[in-house]
A and B are shown apart, each in its own frame.
Chain A
Amino acid sequence: MALKIVKGSIDRMFDKNLQDLVRGIRNHKEDEAKYISTCIDEIKQELKQDNIAVKANAVCKLTYLQMLGYDVSWAAFNIVEVMSSSKFTYKRIGYLAASQCFHENTDVIMLTTNQIRKDLSSPNQYDTGVALTGLSCFVTPDLARDLANDIMTLMSHTKPYIRKKAVLIMYKVFLKYPESLRPAFPRLKEKLEDPDPGVQSAAVNVICELARRNPKNYLSLAPLFFKLMTSSTNNWVLIKIIKLFGALTPLEPRLGKKLIEPLTNLIHSTSAMSLLYECVNTVIAGQYSCSVGHIKSHLLCVQKLRILIEDSDQNLKYLGLLAMSKILKTHPKSVQSHKDLILQCLDDKDESIRLRALDLLYGMVSKKNLMEIVKKLMIHVDKAEGTTYRDELLTKIIDICSQSNYQYITNFEWYISILVELTRLEGTRHGHLIASQMLDVAIRVKAIRVFAVAQMATLLDNAHLLTGNMQRNGICEVLYAAAWICGEFSEHLENPVQTLEAMLRPKVATLPGHIQAVYVQNAAKLFATILKNQEGNTDSTAAQETSQMMIDRLPLFVQSANLEVQERASCILQLVKYIQKLQQKDVEVAEEVSALFAGELNPVAPKAQKKVPVPEGLDLDAWINEPPSESESEDEQPKAIFTKEEPKHSRPRHTEVDEKELARRREARKQEQANNPFYIKASPSSQKVYQEAPGVEHIPVVQIDLSVPLKVPGLPMSDQYVKLEEERRQKERAEKKKKEKKKRKEKRSGRGKKHDSGPESEEDITPAHVVDIVTEEMPEVAQEDQNRLPSPYLCRVKVCICMFCLCRPLADSEKLPVRSHRAAGAPKSSAEDGEAENATPQEPKKKSSKEKRDKKKDKERDRKVRLRCWKHFPPSGHKSDSRSTQSEGRTVVTFLVFPLPRKVCDIQGNLQDGSQVVVSVIFENKSDSFLKSMEFNVLDSLNSKLQRPEGSGPHDGLTVPFQLPPGVSNEARFVFTVQSIVMPQKLKGTLTFIVKNEDSSTHEKLDFKLHFTCTSYLITTPCYSDAFAKLLESGDLKSSSVRLEGVNMPFHHLLARICFHHHFSVVERIDSCASMYSRSIQGHHVCLLVKTSGQTVSIDAKCDEPTLLGNVLDEIKQTFSQC
């Protein structure tokens, strides 16, 4: 025995253990590879021995080498050997090695199934634990299938240590073997209520991850999780549950409302930043936006985020900004108020924080603050060290300014100045970006050309500043734009001769070829303009001097190595020489020369060609010449195959079209071309200008505010524009106020309809000059982003689990494979009863499409009925009433429209609130399909406007904040602003929504009309008889009366009807005579005196607004004519 031990230890003495190996590697830094290869040889020897201890030691070393990047796949079998050792020490090492080295394609994994099963059922919990841990790393679909049942059994192990691991690993099994989910789910659900908190949180983890993949199946668990959420104190668990709810709320909007309270509580109470951050993120991501509670919690989030951003911890700052950018997408206004803070972050020393802040700024700009923000950014550009960040700033400035077709730029002179200032950046790579902006603005904003040309001329004059250093040549791209703009719009140049000189300086020859080419070509354009200016003069020497200068300078370019430059230069040189000859003979040449460059260049969209209609009779696919005959030669065979296919594509030709039709089409085409901004017209106006001065009339003459200096000496300073702009806006505001005062006066006289505008709003800011932005279709860059290829790493496992309904009873085929001698382990689904309603009966597909059409027709008819019936219900009882109407209807979507001016109840006579009407709409889904993405939109009239959230356009629809599963109804409220309430009004609207079926979804539209009657502006207001008498006596009221014939009902019914439908209250009743009172939301008094005799009812009415009164009486009349 002793000898054996000694022998063993001697053996071991010669072996290197892990520590020796590590030490050895550290000591052989120079020849590490060589040292390791000898070590691997030793390991190979050791693995050949029978001693399991030696083998385990070798495997341990291999695991280390694997981490260093060496291939150890050859030892896979040895690892399995060590795994199957009965000793825990070695088993542990074996499983570790396996979990580090094995992957799905390791073939020996097949051999391990039985060993793992044995370990899983080992009496020693650590054996089981080690096996589970290992399995979590290298589980394959085969292993998952074979072991699913064993692991499921372990979920009910006596030891929480094992239960916990088993629950977690079940998730991996589900991923690899989705069929196991259904049988295992009930047990997994049970674990949510496990006595051990560790097991419980493991179950929460797994279900959360499952639910994030397919939330629909887990909706039924919401109450359970809700309970857990309000009771648990474990932050790890809470975070998971909140994440789960984040996945569930889009499917069940009611959940969102319910969640707001506990989430807000957590936000208030928790000290754990991670939990706070999770809550905030969930609230932000929530799709519910209309309810008051949400707006509150939203504000809270923004507040908390502000605290995060103000924190000194870089991490919190970064995350705060990240979350802010998410809010920005939905509630830009609430972020904009924190502009100061975000601008501050631009000074942060951490570049990743600065970049986040930059991203935020992009979405925060408005017409009002653009100049200010860009000014700050320009300061940062000057300060920024490191070209990457500075370039990032530069692109962001240009992005911010040019976004959505220069939407936020009110003063293009300012923008040009900014661009010119940016050219002073040293070593930027983005010269071409600045250049393309300059070109774009100069071409598309006609009004700016004068200014742009002046600036560009200055740039050309100072070109040596830009090109002085050859390393800065990125920026010289700007000269390309400058030269082109000066040449093309040379008629605006102050001093064309000077610019021409600047363009022909010898230094130009050092510029890149393509820029020189532009210089040469545009020098010629300039030359033409100069000639024309000088021709009128009596002294022709000036013109000849210019020609001479061209002749002197151009040869430099003729010698250029660049073909393009050379060709253009020599061509122009000869031309100028010829012109000079003519000049010497006193021939007037200017017009001929400028004709070379006549005509305006219009911007053309990349897709413009598509818009050009194919002329009648032109078949683009037809052959112009007959294709070569097939029989010509053998080797042309492939071509013949190609041509054979062609005829398929050719369209049928329209050969017989009579004259009339042709004329009609021609006319239509002309019309279309005239309206098409992209069509370059062939009208005489653009061929033009041979005789007249080139295009002078075609340049829109724009009144430019003279407070802005047209020519800025030297390079421009954008800053001054900020000030000027401010002054201009103030002036404008003052003017506007004046106008408004006038209007208000008019209004008092009873006609004014335009609403008061509050403090300066976005729309109030008008551009400094009328800018004619030639819009074109922008290339669809955004889409490219979406098509981004998925990274190769993360799309590996695409198993589709949870696609079935968890509550269906188990089919035999779905039961887990179990080894024969065991009892079938799949327990009956306990979830069955709870989730039974969830299972949607599947309908035959064919039927639905046909039905839909029928239903649509019904819809039309039914809607009218329904929309009319709203006025029969008083505000208080609307809920029950709506239900009764549902039962008659067969519509797909039922609308019940219902204006109830409830706000006024509190604040009577307040004109501000008196203009608001709340419309409740009940949407009921009577179809079998799921309706989502509903958008409610109304065509505003001058008088009534739908209140839209801030930041959305006047024609945007409102998203209905819920989705409708079949058979469900829900109510949404929309607020309208009404100017005048004296007239009834109808508003047209549309509801768009997506109908989602089992396998398809369609976009549907429903048109409707909202009928705002005058009655709906009345509120039932009690009035005492003495007050009533005073009112009548006051004499302020105008009177009117109406007679109703053939009313066949008791008097008290009649009164009840008026009260009910028209919101009146009875003041006093004496026999067959009654006085009634009501009041409008804007405080108009309406008094009625109703008398009846036999079947005739006479109503004498008084009101301080005769129009309103007339309309109310008409409506009352209508009510009684219907019965």
Chain B
Amino acid sequence: MPFLCLFFMLLFSRQGKLRLQKWYVPLSDKEKKKITRELVQTVLARKPKMCSFLEWRDLKIVYKRYASLYFCCAIEDQDNELITLEIIHRYVELLDKYFGSVCELDIIFNFEKAYFILDEFLLGGEAQETSKKNVLKAIEQADLLQEVRYSPR
């Protein structure tokens, strides 16, 4: 089994609608769907005051709710739950900075941007950049590149 920081990250709404999914382990679509369905159910069934961790199969699930969105990650048994919470929080902060007080709709309508930010922050399940500033700078520059190439049209 490959050791990874994260196995996957899922974002879903209170109604159980998937808003974003990133898988760092190769799984078939069928398996992904099954896991997603099961996890969304399990996490939504938990009471609001409960702790953010649960043991699920042989993984540990770390989740946190921000407004109407649940951020949910899977890590391995030996991994650090608190740093995973930190990763989730960091990502939320990044989204917040990028969109300016982010809300669920921002992520729905600009879901590709949300992915780009995530990809600049995490790579292959590992945190690649711990500085928020650097992540945002990279995204802005890439966006700029996009704009520049747009303009001739």
The residues of A with any CB-CB pair to B shorter than 8 Å are 5, 8, 18-19, 22, 53, 60, 63-64, 67-69, 71, 73, 87-89, 92-93, 96, 99-100, 103-105, 124, 126, 129-130, 132-133, 136-138, 161, 164-165, 168-169, 171-172, 175, 198, 201-202, 205-206, 209, 212-213, 234-236, 239, 243, 273-274, 277-278, 281, 314-315, 317-319, 349-353, 790-798
Contact = CB atoms under 8 A, between A and B. Distances in A.
Given A5-B153, A92-B116, A315-B53, A22 B82 contact: no
A319 B55 CA distance: 12
Contacts of B7: 794
Contacts of B115: 96, 100
Nearest to B118: A133
A318 B51 contact: yes
A67 B3 contact: no
Contact of B27 (A5, A92, A793): A793
A878 B80 CA distance: 45
Interface string B43-86: 00001011111100111000000000000000000101111011
Contacts of B24: 136-137
- Interface secondary structure of B, over-half rule: mixed
B130 interface: yes
Contacts of B41: none
A93 B112 contact: yes
Contacts of B80: 239, 243, 274, 277-278, 281
A315 B117 CA distance: 27
Nearest to B53: A318
B109 to A, nearest CB: 5
Interface in B6-62: 7, 18-21, 23-29, 31, 33, 35, 47, 49-54, 57-59
Nearest to A170: B124
Contact of A136 (B33, B124, B145): B124
Contacts, number: 172
A1054 to B, nearest CB: 63
- The range of chain B's interface size is 35 or more
A93 B149 CA distance: 14
Given A164-B129, A243-B78, 16 more contacts: A96-B112, A96-B115, A96-B119, A129-B142, A168-B128, A206-B126, A212-B78, A278-B83, A314-B51, A319-B81, A349-B49, A350-B47, A792-B31, A793-B25, A794-B57, A796-B26
Contact of A209 (B4, B53, B82, B145): B4
A236 B138 contact: no
A791 B26 contact: no
A168 B123 contact: yes
B104 to A, nearest CB: 12
Contacts of A68: 18
A205 B31 contact: no
Contacts of B86: 274
B99 interface: no
26 contacts: A5-B153, A63-B111, A67-B21, A67-B111, A73-B29, A88-B146, A105-B28, A130-B142, A136-B24, A137-B24, A164-B128, A165-B123, A168-B126, A169-B124, A171-B124, A198-B131, A201-B130, A209-B126, A274-B86, A315-B52, A351-B50, A790-B58, A793-B27, A793-B57, A794-B25, A797-B26
A198 B3 contact: no
A788 B2 CA distance: 20
B127 interface: yes
B149 A87 contact: yes
Given A92-B116, A315-B82, A209 B3 contact: yes
A168 B153 CA distance: 36
Contacts of A172: 124
Contacts of B153: 5, 8, 53
Given A88-B149, A314-B50, A103 B27 contact: yes
- Interface secondary structure of A, over-half rule: helix
Given A209-B3, A352-B54, A315 B123 contact: no
B134 A198 contact: yes
A955 to B, nearest CB: 33
Contacts of A239: 80, 83
A64 B20 CA distance: 9
B68 to A, nearest CB: 14
Contacts of A136: 24, 123-124
B3 A103 contact: no
B51 A353 contact: yes
Nearest to A4: B153
B13 to A, nearest CB: 12
Closest 9 CB pairs of A and B: A274-B82, A314-B51, A136-B124, A318-B51, A274-B83, A133-B119, A89-B146, A350-B50, A209-B3
Contacts of A103: 26-29
B74 to A, nearest CB: 10
A795 B1 contact: yes
Nearest to B34: A793
Nearest to B11: A67
Contacts of A133: 119-120, 123
A269 to B, nearest CB: 17
B51 A315 contact: yes
Contacts of B19: 67
B142 A352 contact: no
Contacts of A794: 1, 7, 25, 57-59
Contacts of A18: 109, 111-112
B123 A352 contact: no
Given A96-B115, A136-B124, A202-B126, A236 B81 contact: no
Contact of B82 (A168, A277, A795, A798): A277
Nearest to A318: B51
Contacts of B81: 277, 315, 319
Most buried by A among B49, B82, B127, B131: B82
Contact of B57 (A104, A278, A791): A791
B1 A137 contact: no
A67 B153 CA distance: 31
A19 B112 CA distance: 11
Nearest to B124: A136
B118 to A, nearest CB: 10
Nearest to A86: B149
A99 B54 CA distance: 28
Nearest to B148: A88
A49 B59 CA distance: 45
Most buried by B among A103, A236, A793: A793
Contact of A236 (B52, B116, B127): B127
A172 B4 CA distance: 10
Contact of A67 (B20, B123, B126, B130): B20
B108 interface: yes
Most buried by A among B18, B85, B124, B129: B124
Contact of A132 (B57, B123, B146): B123
Contacts of A352: 50-51, 53-54
